[in-house]
Amino acid sequence: PIFNEAAARRVGISKADLDNLLLTSFSGAQIGVYRDGTDLLPIISRPPPQERLTADNLENLQIYSATAQQYIPVTQVVKRFDVSWEDPIIMRRDRKRTLTVMADHDILGNETAAKLFSRVRSQIEAIPLPDGYELEWGGEFEASSKAQKAIFGSLPVGYLIMFITTVLLFASARIAGIIWACIPLALIGVSYGLLITGAPFGFMALLGFLSLSGMIIKNGIVLVEQVKLELEEGKAPYSALF
C-alpha cells in the first residue's frame, strides 16, 4: 500500500496503525492468553479465511481514527495498492528442489500428532506422483525416527556391557541370566499402560521402557545379593527367597 501521509495526519492515523491493521487482517494478532492447566496458549484474533486469503479485500478494510472517534475506510489513508513481483526462492533439501507442505494437529483436540499421522499417512502415500518426483516425511516423524535409530544402533552394545558387568559382579552367568530374564516382563506393564492411555509407542515411550529395564536390573541385583547373604547366614533357600 502507498501510504497517504497528509490524509492520515488529518484523521490521526500513523503508518504503524496501518501496519498493525494489515498484520491483524492477514496473519492475526495476539489479544490474550488462555491457561490450559500449566500451559499458556495464545489467543489469536483474525478474520475468517474468506476475508484474509485474498488481496482483493484490502480496499474493504476499516481502520480506527482517533480524531474522528470511529472506523473509516482504509482507502482514505492509502493512495493505492500496488502489486509487484518478487524473485522466487527455490527451496532445496539434500540438494534437490523441494516443495514443502506443512501441517499440524489441533492442540485442543483429542487426537495427537502421532495418531493423525498414522491416519493420513496411507492416504497421502497413495497419491500418484509424476516421474522424477518422490515423497519424504519430515518434521516430528523424521526427528523421532532419527532419535530411535540412534538409540537402537547403540542399544545392543549397551546391553552387552551391562550384561557382562552383571556376570562379573556375581561371577556367574547363570545368576546374571536369571536377573536379565525379568526384563521381558516389563513389556507387559508398558503394553497395558499404552493401551489404557491410548498413547503410541514413540520416542518417549521407548525412553520409559529403557529406564524401566534399568530399574528392573537394579532391583534384581539387590534382590539376588540379599538372597545370597541370607543363604550364607544358613537360611533355607525357600526362606531366603520369601
Total residue length of the chain: 242
Instruction: Count CB neighbours of 138 within 10 A.
Output: 13
List residues bridging with 229 in a β-sheet: none
pLDDT greater than 80 at residue 88? no
Q: Look at the alpha carbons of 90, 93, 99, 100 in this order and tell me if their dihedral is positive or negative.
A: negative
pLDDT tens digit sequence for 50-59: 777 777 778 8
Q: What's phi and psi for 63, nearest 5 deg?
A: -125, 140
In 3D space, the residue among 133, 104, 100, 135 whose CA is nearest the CA of residue 117 turns out to be: 104
Calculate helix-pair angle for 113-125, 139-170, nearest 10 degrees.
120
109 three-state secondary structure: coil
The percent of residues in the chain predicted with pLDDT above 90, rounded, is: 5
What is the rounded average pLDDT for all residues in the chain? 84
76 three-state secondary structure: helix
pLDDT tens digit sequence for 25-70: 888 888 889 988 888 888 988 888 877 777 777 888 889 888 888 9
List residues bridging with 41 in a β-sheet: 34
pLDDT greater than 70 at residue 86? yes
187 three-state secondary structure: helix
pLDDT tens digit sequence for 194-224: 888 877 777 778 788 888 888 888 888 888 8
CA 235 vs. chain centroid, Å, equals: 55
Q: Which helix (H) or strand (E) holds 181?
A: none
Query: C-alpha cell of 39?
Result: 500451559
Place of cell 483429542: 110
Return the domain boundaries, the chain: 2-80, 91-242
pLDDT tens digit sequence for 9-25: 888 999 899 888 888 88
**pLDDT at residue 123, as a whole number:** 92
Question: Is pTM beyond 0.85 here?
Answer: no
pLDDT greater than 70 at residue 187? yes
Q: Which helix (H) or strand (E) holds 155?
A: helix 139-170
Contact 240, 230 (CB under 8 A): yes
Contact 43, 33 (CB under 8 A): yes
Query: How would CATH label the architecture of 2-80?
Result: 2-Layer Sandwich (3.30)
pLDDT interval class at 126 (50, 70, 90)? very high
**pLDDT at residue 107, as a whole number:** 66
pLDDT greater than 70 at residue 173? yes
